[in-house]
Amino acid sequence: MSKNKELLWQSRFSLPFDRDALLFSSSVHVDRKLYREDIRGSIAHVTMLAEENIVSREEALQIITGLGEIEVELSEGTLVPQWEDEDIHTVIENRLKEKIGPVAGKLHSGRSRNDQVATDTRLYMRSQISDLEEALGGIMKVLLDKAETYRETIIFGYTHLQRAQPISAGHYYLAYFNMFNRDRQRLRDLKKRVNVSPLGAAAFAGSTLPLNPARTAELLGFESLFPNSIDAVSDRDIIIEFISACATVMMHLSRFAEDVILWSSYEFGYLEISDAFATGSSLMPQKKNADIAELVRGKTGRVYGNLMTILTIMKGLPLSYNRDMQEDKPPLFDSAETTVQSVNIFARMLENTALKEDRLARLTAEDLSLATEIAEYLVRKQIPFRDAHRITGKIVTWSISNGVTLPKIPLGQFREFSDVIDNDIYDCLKPEASVNSKKSHGSCSFASVAVQLEEAGKVL
């Protein structure tokens, strides 16, 4: 190990750290992503140190200037972290020492790696939450546009993956709009817990120096300050919450992806994906595959795995800090990046899809999904619902056995099942009538969807 690769904690030891042990424990290949956050936190810390006369203003200016130059070097790639540096914090501090000499050592006054890392992580998470909120807003805008475009297009609603009842396509798109809106609400609620400064907690017990943690919190834009120094450095609840929120977003995307994959298949044929967002086969020339949707569905498993990783890391740790927590960064970074990318690409794919309205109109006009309308018609004729359900079931059986669709069953045949049935039954056996007959709150009727669209617009 070369002299310029001195580890920050090494002075207590008489032997150099084993090379293989250093390679095993080095995290610089992962936490190098935090260099901007680390420098920002260090500038806030040294500014406070100068204001509290713990370092001189001249020393603080030297340190801040050096940190600014290091940020440029890291950004432009002229300073390349090596695994021997152990972590990005060592990279920055050692480079600062090369630039300004021993005064660089004053930067760490009153600060531990523990509260430093916790601060960097919260700054990173705050940024990622904002990025994910923005991505969710984007897909919600696409869904709102689709719901408006297809408000009066009738599709099948499904339960148990079986055709259930005809519904407005706009109603379908707004269901996902509401899912992603809840995801955004969860992130906004989480941001309040993320936006708490841990800087000033030091290793875990605080510091004997006259620090002003409220000032560093103010400089870094945190809304509040840690109440307990042990908890400040040993808690990873916010990472667990964030990855959990990401997992929920990915679950919603994965469900949506499943619909897109099914609906774009030849067997369903409800949806066309733009060629710009589909792939072919290296062997079968006719293939058009919904690969973007499939990849999103697959990446959901990665984010689920990340959630189990962080829960498992934390489940047996005694207070306060333990080195196990170094392993929180890979699942955090991967979940944030995977989820933001997935939401953004899915939104673009969705924007470039179109419902096959002619095919849907043909299919919904004569499908068995109109059976519920017969049952409710009978209820309106004062038949108890259980009896109406039984009568309708027999009508459906006759329809299937005789190959006659519900709207084409002769009135005489209908009346063999119940003499209360009259010519007005045929008014119910139209998809538009079925959809618009729904009167309850939040239902699939065109009028109800119009109200939901208005409310969704306010949300955005």
DSSP codes joined into one string, 28-87: HHHHGGGHHHHHHHHHHHHHHHHHTTSS-HHHHHHHHHHHHHHHHHHHHTSS---GGG-S
pLDDT above 50 for 149: yes
Confidence (pTM): 0.92
pLDDT for 4 equals 45
List the one residue out of 290, 261, 259, 296 whose CA is nearest residue 155. 259
Share of the chain above pLDDT 70, in %: 98
- Catalytic annotation, residues: 160, 281
What's the Rg (C-alpha) of the chain?
31
CA distances from 258 to 123, 245, 284, 309 (A): 35, 20, 23, 26
Does the structure show a pLDDT above 80 at 212? yes
pLDDT at 1 over 70: no
Query: Which is more confidently placed, 68 or 21?
Result: 68
pLDDT score of 5: 59
User: According to the model, what pLDDT value does residue 281 have?
Assistant: 87
Compare 183 and 2 and report the one with higher pLDDT. Answer: 183
| Residues 318-377: tens digit of each pLDDT | 999 999 999 999 999 999 999 999 999 999 999 999 999 999 999 999 888 899 999 999
pLDDT value at residue 11: 72
Angle between helices 113-149 and 446-459 (to 10 degrees): 150
Q: Is the CA virtual torsion 208, 209, 210, 215 positive or negative?
A: negative
Q: Give 366-429's CATH code, choosing from 1.50.10.20, 3.40.50.620, 3.40.190.10, 1.10.40.30.
A: 1.10.40.30
Mean pLDDT, residues 181-197? 98
In 3D space, the residue among 4, 3, 5, 8 whose CA is nearest the CA of residue 83 turns out to be: 5
How many Å from the N-terminal Cα to the C-terminal Cα in the chain? 55
Residue-level pLDDT at 119: 98
Query: Burial of 427 by CB count in 10 Å (0-12 exposed, 13-18 middle, 19+ buried)?
Result: exposed
Say if residue 232's pLDDT is above 90: yes
CA distances from 255 to 135, 168, 262, 303, 382 (A): 18, 19, 11, 15, 40
419-436: average pLDDT: 93
Q: What is the mean pLDDT of residues 38-52?
A: 98
* 3-state secondary structure at position 114: helix
- All CATH 1.20.200.10 domain ranges in the chain, comma separated: 114-203+225-361
Q: How confident is the model at residue 6 (pLDDT cuts 50, 70, 90)?
A: low
The mean-pLDDT minimum among 11-15, 265-269, 295-299, 445-449 falls in 11-15
Domain with CATH 1.10.40.30 in the chain: 366-429
Q: Does pLDDT of 16 surpass 90?
A: no
Distance from C-alpha of 56 to C-alpha of 62, rounded to nearest angstrom = 10
Backbone angles phi, psi at 374, to 5 degrees: -65, -45
Q: What is the CATH number assigned to the segment(s) 114-203+225-361?
A: 1.20.200.10
Of the two residues 19 and 2, the one the predictor is more confident about is: 19
Task: With a cut of 70, say whether residue 3 has pLDDT above it.
Answer: no
Give residue 24's pLDDT: 84
d(CA 23, CA 381): 79
Phi first, then psi, for residue 440 (nearest 5°) are -75, 160
**pLDDT of 15 above 90:** no
- Inter-axis angle of helices 329-351 and 237-263, nearest 10: 30
Could you tell me if 141 and 460 are in contact, meaning their C-beta atoms sit under 8 angstroms apart?
yes
Q: What is the pLDDT of residues 103-128, one digit of tens each?
A: 999 999 999 999 999 999 999 999 99
Give DSSP secondary structure letters for 289-322.
B-HHHHHHHHHHHHHHHHHHHHHHHHTTPPSS--
Report the mean per-residue pLDDT for the chain: 94
**Residue 9 pLDDT level (bands cut at 50, 70, 90):** low
Identify residue 366 by its one-letter amino acid code: E
CATH number of 16-109: 1.10.275.10
